[in-house]
Amino acid sequence: MAHSLSAKKRVRQNAKRRVMNRAKRSQVKTLVKRFETTVGEGDAKAAAEQFHVIAKKLDKVANTSTMHKKTAARKKSRLAKRLNALKAKPVASA
């Protein structure tokens, strides 16, 4: 256990930041799950809107060091790849 005042303050700060970081990561995971369900249903327009929201959220989370910038970029890239495949799907079958 921390003894000095500064160490005790640091423990309090870490606890507060941990809660906020977990909430942000959880929000990203929830948004990604919704996006994947929409892609599974084949609704390209709704998926594109959700992708825009996810991309914005990932950028904010990466900017606050909750998630590494390259991790956020990798997630956005993979989601964009799925969205583009969904958009190209009807064209290929027509």
Q: What is the DSSP letter of 66?
A: S
CB atoms within 10 A of CB 21: 15
Task: Give the pLDDT confidence score for residue 69 in this predicted structure.
Answer: 97
Range of the domain at 83: 5-93
Query: pLDDT (tens digit, 9 = 90+) per residue, 25-67?
Result: 999 999 999 999 999 999 999 999 999 999 999 999 999 989 9
Kindly tell me the burial class for residue 61, based on how many C-beta atoms sit within 10 Å of its own C-beta (0-12, 13-18, 19 or more).
buried
Q: What is the pTM of this model?
A: 0.84
Query: pLDDT (tens digit, 9 = 90+) per residue, 59-74?
Result: 999 999 899 999 999 9
Domain count, the chain: 1
For residue 15, the domain's CATH number is: 1.20.58.110
Do residues 8 and 2 touch, judged by C-beta distance below 8 A? yes
